Structure 1
Amino acid sequence: MKKQPSSETFQSLKKASEKVFDLITTHLGVQTAYVAKRDSHAMTVLSSINNKEELVPEGLEVEYSGAVCRVVISGENNTLNSSNLEKDELTRELEIANDLKMKGFLGVTLRDDKGEVFGTLCVLDQEEKNFSEEDVEFLQSIANVLSYLIELDHTQFNMALLNVPILPITEGVSVLTLQGIVDEDRAAKLTADVLNYASQNSIDYFVIEMSGLVVINNEFPYVVVEIIQALKVMGIEPIMTGITPSIAMQETGTDALQKLDVKTVSSIEQALVHIGFKLIES
C-alpha cells in the first residue's frame, strides 16, 4: 500500500479512526480494525488497532491485486461480509488472507465528499464471525463520518500549499516549485500566477521543480503541460527537474511533455548549469 499523499497528510482521519476503533472492536466483538488508503497499485494501512497479536500493522503495504480491500471496493454495495476469508470463494486464493489466518471479516468502502473511493474501513478476527445487516450498517455509519475528515485533510493539505511558490534566482531566471495536490481550482490559480509573474518580470528561463508534486489516482496534473506550452509561446524556456518515479510512470503526462521537447535535468543545480551559471564549491 502506497502513500499519495503521505499518511502524515491524513492526521484528522488517523486520529479520529484511532478514537473509534475501541468502539468498533467492542461493538462487533473483533480483535482488529483498520483504515486503509487506496493508491493506483497498492493499499496502505493508515491506522489500526490490534487487541491481541498484531495482525495488521500501521504502514502495511499490499499490492492492490492481492489485497482483501480490493474485494471490498469491487464487491456488492462496495462491502465484503465473510465469516471465514480462508474459505470464502472471493478471498481464499489471496495470499495475505492465508498468511494472517484471517477468518471473520467485515469491510466497507471509504469515500470522500465527492463520492470518490478513498479506501476501506475493515474489521477482522482469527475466529469465524457472522456479521448481521445491522453490523454492516453500523460500520458504514462510522465510514460516513470518517469521509468528512478525508476532505478536511485534503483541504488542509492544499491550504498550506495554496500560494504559488516562485523563487527568483537572478534577472530573467526563476524557479517554480510544484508541491502537493493540484486540483482544478489550484490549477487555475497556478497557471494565472505563473504566466502573470513571467510576463511582469521579463523571465527568460523558468525552472519547474516537481519533486513535491503529489499524483492522485494515477492521474498526472495536465496543467503542468499547459503551463509549459504557454511559457514556450511566450518565448520563455522551461526546464524541468525533480521528476520522481511516480511522476515518470504517468504515461499520459510524460508523453505530452516529451512531445513538447522540454529540457529535463536531475536537479536545480543542473538546470542553472544548463542556463550558463558556473557553480563554485565553497
Structure 2
Amino acid sequence: MKIETECSRLTASTFDDFNEAAVRVLQMMAKFLDLNTLFIARNDGQTNQIIKVLNKDEELVSEGDTLPFAESYCKLSVDHGQGILIIPDVNNNEMTCEMNVTKHLGGGSFIAIPIYYQDGQNYGTICGLDTKNKEFTNEHIQLFETMSALLSYVLELDYTNQQLQNTGAPVVPITKGVAILPVIGDIDESRAESIIQTALFKSQDLSLDYLVIDLSGIMYINETVIASLLKITSIIKLIGVRPILTGFRPDLSMKAVQINADLQDIMIKANLEQALNEIGFVLKSEQPRS
C-alpha cells in the first residue's frame, strides 16, 4: 500500500484528541519506515519530554523520558527550521558527534521535523531514531512533512475544544476572605474578559482579601496570556483584593521576561500551600488515632 493511500485515511476527525492522534500517526509511519524508534516529543524551551513512542526491537527511548532541551537532538530539529532534518550518521556529523545522546546511543541515524501551533510557536517534534545508519527517500520525507502538518491541525482542534470546555474559570472559596481561581486551558482576549468579570463579581460577593490565581493548568503560554494575567491582577487590586500567583512554570517565567512584564508588585508562590502560608494559614494533615 502506498504512503499517499494510507495518509488519506488519517484525518483530524479520526481522533478524539492529540494523544490519540500521536499514537495513530506513529503506528502508520512505522509501516513505511525501517527505523527502530519513532517518537513525538514536546518541549517548553528548557525540557524535552517524550510524549508518545514506538520502539520495534530495542527500547531506545521511553514514554515520559525527559532531557534538557539544549542537550537533545530535538533542539537541532527546531533550530533547523520548518524543514526536515536528516542526520544519516550521528557519529560523523559535527552537530551530534560530541553530544551525550550520541555517546549513549553509540551511533546511528536521526530524522525529525518540528510540530507547530497555528501562530508559529513550536510545540515539539516528530522524530525517528536508529542505532544503524539509514537512508531516507523523498517519500519518507513527504511522510514526515504530512504527519507534522496533520498533528499541527489536530493540536489546534484539541486546544479549541479545551477552550470551549473551559470558557470561564471558577472562583473556589478556601476560607473567609480567601479563594482560589484555577486557570485551565488557553487564554485569549475573549476568555480573559470572562475570567476578569468572574474574578471581579466573585471577589465582591465573597468579600475577598486574597485571590490565589493558579496557573499550573494553562496549556500554552504566549504574550496574550501574560498580558491577560497582568490585566486580571491589576483590576482586582483596584477593588482591594490582593492577587497571588501560583503554578508559575518555567516557560511562563521565560515568556514574562521576554516581554518585560512588570511582576514586581505581585506575590508569586510555587504552590497553594506556600501561598496560604504567606498569608497566615497552615495546612495540617489529620493525625491517625492511636
* Cα distance change, pair 96–274 in 1 and its aligned pair in 2 (3 A): closer
CA–CA separation in structure 1 for the residues paired with 2:109 and 2:274: 55
**Equivalent in the alignment of 1:6:** none
* Cα distance change, pair 129–183 in 1 and its aligned pair in 2 (3 A): same
Contact between 1:104 and 1:126, CA under 8 Å: does it hold in 2? Answer: yes
CA–CA separation in structure 2 for the residues paired with 1:281 and 1:73: 46
**Equivalent in the alignment of 1:75:** 80
Q: Deviations over 1:5-48 (max 9, x none)?
A: xxxxx982222222232331231211111111121202111001
Please give the TM-score of this superposition, normalised by the length of structure 2.
0.77
Count residues with an aligned counterpart: 269
Q: Pairwise mapping of residues 209-220 of structure 1 onto structure 2 (< 5 A)? A: 209-210=213-214, 212-214=216-218, 216-217=220-221
**Equivalent in the alignment of 1:132:** 137
**Equivalent in the alignment of 1:61:** 66
CA–CA separation in structure 1 for the residues paired with 2:110 and 2:283: 59
CA–CA separation in structure 1 for the residues paired with 2:99 and 2:136: 21
CA–CA separation in structure 2 for the residues paired with 1:248 and 1:83: 36
Question: CA shift at 1:116, angstroms?
Answer: 2.3
**Which of 85-94 and 237-246 deviates more?**
237-246
Q: Pairwise mapping of residues 180-259 of structure 1 onto structure 2 (< 5 A)? A: 180-199=185-204, 201=205, 203-210=207-214, 212-214=216-218, 216-217=220-221, 221-234=226-239, 236-240=240-244, 242-244=246-248, 246=250, 249-250=253-254, 252=257, 256-258=262-264
**Equivalent in the alignment of 1:31:** 36
**Equivalent in the alignment of 1:4:** none
CA–CA separation in structure 1 for the residues paired with 2:261 and 2:229: 12
Contact between 1:181 and 1:215, CA under 8 Å: does it hold in 2? Answer: yes
- What is the CA RMSD across the aligned residues, in angstroms? 3.5
Contact between 2:22 and 2:52, CA under 8 Å: does it hold in 1? Answer: yes
**Which of 222-231 and 142-151 deviates more?**
222-231
Is residue 2:103 matched to residue 1:103? no
Match among 83, 91, 94 for residue 86 of structure 1: 91
Question: CA shift at 1:56, angstroms?
Answer: 1.4
Q: Deviations over 1:92-117 (max 9, x none)?
A: 12211231234122111111233321
Q: Deviations over 1:196-246 (max 9, x none)?
A: 4445x3734242241634374586623222222212222x12141644564
SS, match of residue 178 in structure 1: strand
Question: CA shift at 1:175, angstroms?
Answer: 3.6
Question: CA shift at 1:281, angstroms?
Answer: 9.2
Q: Partner amino acid for 1:237?
A: V
* Cα distance change, pair 11–54 in 1 and its aligned pair in 2 (3 A): farther
Match among 153, 157, 180 for residue 158 of structure 2: 153
Q: Partner amino acid for 2:263?
A: L
Q: Partner amino acid for 1:224?
A: L
Question: CA shift at 1:128, angstroms?
Answer: 1.0
Question: CA shift at 1:151, angstroms?
Answer: 1.5
CA–CA separation in structure 1 for the residues paired with 2:268 and 2:42: 35
**Which of 110-119 and 246-255 deviates more?**
246-255
* Cα distance change, pair 155–94 in 1 and its aligned pair in 2 (3 A): same
**Equivalent in the alignment of 1:46:** 51
Contact between 2:38 and 2:55, CA under 8 Å: does it hold in 1? Answer: yes
SS, match of residue 125 in structure 2: strand
CA–CA separation in structure 2 for the residues paired with 1:80 and 1:280: 53
> Kindly, what percent of the aligned residue pairs are identical?
22
Give structure 2 stretches of 5+ with no counterpart. 1-14
CA–CA separation in structure 2 for the residues paired with 1:109 and 1:95: 22
**Which of 112-121 and 175-184 deviates more?**
175-184
Question: CA shift at 1:263, angstroms?
Answer: 8.6
Q: Deviations over 1:131-172 (max 9, x none)?
A: 123321121111111112211222333334322211346776
* Cα distance change, pair 191–102 in 1 and its aligned pair in 2 (3 A): farther
SS, match of residue 126 in structure 2: strand
* Cα distance change, pair 77–173 in 1 and its aligned pair in 2 (3 A): closer
**Which of 170-179 and 187-196 deviates more?**
170-179
